[in-house]
Structure 1
Amino acid sequence: MRTAKLRASLLSLPLLCTPAGAMELSSLEWPPYSGAELPEQGSLSHLLHQALATQNEPLLIHFQPWSRAIRSATTEPEIVGYFPRYFANDNLCLYSDSIGTSRVGLAVRSDISVRWDKLEDLAQYRIGVVRGYRNAPEFDALVADGTLKVKEAASDELNLLKLVYGRLDAAVIDEQVMHYWMADDPQLRQSADKLAFAPQLLAEPTMHVCFTPGEAGEQARLQLNRGLQQVAQSQASGNGNVGR
Structure 2
Amino acid sequence: MKSIGVVLLSFALFLNPLAWGGETWKIASLNWEPYSSDRMTTQGNAIQKLRHLLKQKDIELIVDFYPWERAQEIAKDPQYIGYFPAWPEEVKEGFTASAKIDWSWIAVLRKRSTMLEYSNARQLFAFYRGGLISTYSYPTLIADQAKAQRHRTTLVANELALLKALMADQIDFAVTDPYVMTYLADKLGVDEIEVDKVLMRKALVLAIRNDEHASERLQLLRDLLNH
Q: State TM-score, norm by structure 1.
A: 0.76
Alignment match, 1:158:
161
Within a 5 Å distance, the mapping from 1:71-220 to structure 2 comes to 71-74=73-76, 76-88=77-89, 92=93, 93-122=95-124, 123-146=126-149, 149-185=152-188, 189=189, 191-192=190-191, 194-198=192-196, 200-220=197-217
**Equivalent residue number for residue 240 of structure 1:** none
Matched residue pairs, number? 204
Q: Where do 4+ consecutive residues of structure 1 move more than 4 Å?
A: 88-91, 145-148
Structure 2 SS opposite 1:40: coil
Q: Percent identity?
A: 22
AA partner of residue 183 (structure 1): D
Indicate how the Cα distance of structure 1 residues 165 and 40 shifts in structure 2: closer, same or farther if over 3 A, else same: same
Residue 218 of structure 2 corresponds to 221
The residue number in structure 1 matching 2:9 is none
Distance, in Å, in 2 between the alignment partners of 1:84 and 1:115 is 32
Instruction: Please give the root-mean-square deviation of Cα atoms over the aligned residues, in Å.
Output: 2.1
- Alignment gaps of 5+ in structure 2: 1-21
Query: Secondary structure, in 3 states, of the residue corresponding to 1:159?
Result: helix
How far apart, CA to CA, are the structure 2 residues paired with 1:137 and 1:155? 20
The higher radius of gyration belongs to: 2
Secondary structure (helix, strand or coil) at the match of 2:50 reads helix
Which of the residues 44, 47, 63 maps onto 1:45? 47
Which shows bigger deviation, 215-224 or 152-161? 215-224
TM-score, length basis structure 2 = 0.81
Q: 1:112 to 1:132 in 2, by over 3 A?
A: same
More strand by share: 2
* Preserved contact between residue 89 and residue 139 of structure 2 (Cα < 8 Å): no
Equivalent of 2:64 in 62, 65, 70:
62
Per-residue deviation, residues 151-174 of structure 1 (Å, max 9, x unmatched): 111211221122112111111121
Where 1:116 maps in the other structure, the secondary structure is coil
What is the Cα deviation at residue 141 of structure 1? 2.1
Instruction: Give distance in 2, aligned partners of 1:24 and 1:62.
Output: 8
